[in-house]
Amino acid sequence: MDDVKRQLAELRAAIDDLDRRILELLNERAGLARRVGEIKREAGARFYAPGREEDLLRRLEQANPGPFPNAAVRAVWREIISASLALEAPMSVAYLGPPATFTHQAALRRFGESARLEPARTIGEVFERVEKGKVAYGVIPVENTTEGVVSHTLDMFLRSELKIVAEVYLRVTHHLLNRSGRLGDVERIYSHPHAVAQCRGWLETHLAEVPVFDAASTAQAAKIASEDPGAAAIAAEVAAQAYGLRVVESRIEDNPNNFTRFLVIGPEIPDPSGRDKTSVVFAVRDEVGALYRMLQPFFEHGVNLTKIESRPMPDEAWQYVFFTDCEGHATEPGVRAALEELRSRCRFLRVLGSYPQGSLPRAR
């Protein structure tokens, strides 16, 4: 037993020494980051560089020999970067709130705990705050693997000149929450319609007779459940912590690989990162083969399309616009040539952004 105690004491002393060295290095890095901020301020340069950030995270993951897991490397350095940015300049970010929603989690995933995160009531309000300079960036949902696109987000890009500067993929897991943690106490269920739809099969199997009511968000549903002993909420586990609830049942979503994609919006397109995505919106002329002719330039210039989504034009009945994602940055020769040729063929074209490709969570 004494030998075990001695070995543990030696290991703990070595860990304590490493922690002191890590702290010294973090403060040395913080000093350099502060100097970077001073130089940027003098030059009038942007403080936030998502391309540089994503490139750094990728390089760290590639250089990591283990056993420290890559997911933890990304999480740790995200907070280091967040704290460093806070030293360079206060980072204010609006997100579709309230707190404890999945969009809040996406904002934390992208900007870390050191950013000043401000909830907004609607997607339109997020756009408005960024447009008026009240915040530096905004975070909004754009599509889910189960429910498809968030139409209001796409429609806002038709009215706004803001750009997409980054994307975040978040695994969405839903939990049934209430005050007691007992299934027998559930008399009413509240949640956002999208969350309800993603759990429809589980609800029909286990709680078919229990009425379900819409809430403005999963966090609002959790708040309702915290005030009503007969109510339950479908929400994230973080909402249970925020509103003092217990988990009745975990992971009740029907699709175990349920992901939501979020966009970060800002005033300017970031510099290339080396692994980028470009999003555009365009409208076609009403003629035979129009869409084929619009997509042809991407094929001819070797540009890989990853998504195309149609939406009705707000001011013209039975006319449509197309939202398209492709691999590469708008400044790359192939992408630039394809977009120039597309512009000459369509009614209008707008580049919504060129930004680092987000990291997809591993499927389960």
Q: Look at residue 40 in the predicted model and tell me its pLDDT.
A: 74
For residue 123, give both structure tokens: 């997607």
pLDDT above 70 covers a percentage of the chain that reads 96
Among 103, 153, 218, 260, the one annotated catalytic: 260
pLDDT tens-digit readout, 230-282: 999 999 888 998 899 999 999 999 988 888 999 999 998 888 888 899 999 99
- Range 2-86 has CATH code 3.30.300.30: no
Question: Which residue's entry shows tokens 């192939």?
Answer: 334
Report the relative pairing of strands 348-356 and 276-283 from DSSP bridges: antiparallel
> Span 41-59, mean pLDDT?
76
- Distance CA(352)–CA(141), nearest Å, equals 15
To the query of whether residue 262 is one of the catalytic residues in this protein, the response is yes
In this predicted structure, what is the pLDDT of residue 318?
58
The residue written with tokens 């969405």 in the block is 172
Assign domain 175-249 one CATH number from 3.10.300.10, 3.40.190.290, 2.30.30.90, 3.40.190.10. 3.40.190.10
Quickly count: other Cβ atoms within 10 Å of residue 289's Cβ.
Answer: 9
Angstrom distance (rounded) from CA 254 to CA 110: 27
Q: Please give the average per-residue pLDDT across 87-107, as a whole number.
A: 86
Q: What is the pLDDT confidence band of residue 35, given thresholds at 50, 70 and 90?
A: confident
- List where CATH 3.40.190.10 sits in the chain: 95-109+116-172+259-265, 175-249
List, for residues 277-328, the tens digit of each pLDDT value. Answer: 999 999 887 777 778 888 899 999 999 999 998 888 777 665 788 999 999 9
CATH dotted code for 269-356: 3.30.70.260
Angle, helices 102-111/70-88, rounded to nearest 10 degrees:
80
- If pLDDT is split at 50, 70 and 90, which confidence band does 362 have? low
Counting residues of the chain whose pLDDT is more than 90, the rounded percentage is 45
How far is Cα 50 from Cα 167, in angstroms, rounded to an integer? 10
102 is catalytic: no
Is residue 267 within 8 A of residue 217, CB to CB? The reply is no
Q: What's residue 346's pLDDT? A: 86
Concatenating the DSSP letter of every residue in 217-237 gives SHHHHHHHHHH-TTEEEEE-H
Taking Cα atoms as reference points, which of 191, 140, 109 lies closest to residue 361?
Answer: 109
Range(s) within the chain of domains with CATH label 1.20.59.10: 2-86
Tokens at 235, concatenated: 């929400």
Average pLDDT over residues 115-136: 92
Q: Is pLDDT above 90 for 29? A: no
User: For the domain bounded by 95-109+116-172+259-265, which CATH number is listed?
Assistant: 3.40.190.10
CA dihedral 7, 12, 18, 19 (to 10 degrees): 170
What DSSP state is assigned to residue 296?
Answer: H
> What pLDDT, on the 0 to 100 scale, is given for residue 317?
61
Among the options 111, 262, 282, 322, which is catalytic?
A: 262
pLDDT value at 331 more than 90: yes
Q: Where are the beta strands (DSSP E) in the chain?
A: 92-96, 116-120, 137-144, 148-149, 163-171, 175-178, 188-191, 212-214, 231-235, 246-249, 259-266, 276-283, 305-312, 320-327, 348-356
Give the pLDDT confidence of 333-347 residue by residue, as tens digits: 999 999 999 998 888
Give the residue among 354, 154, 161, 162 at the shortest CA–CA distance from 266.
Answer: 162
Where, residue-wise, is CATH 3.30.70.260 in the chain?
Answer: 269-356
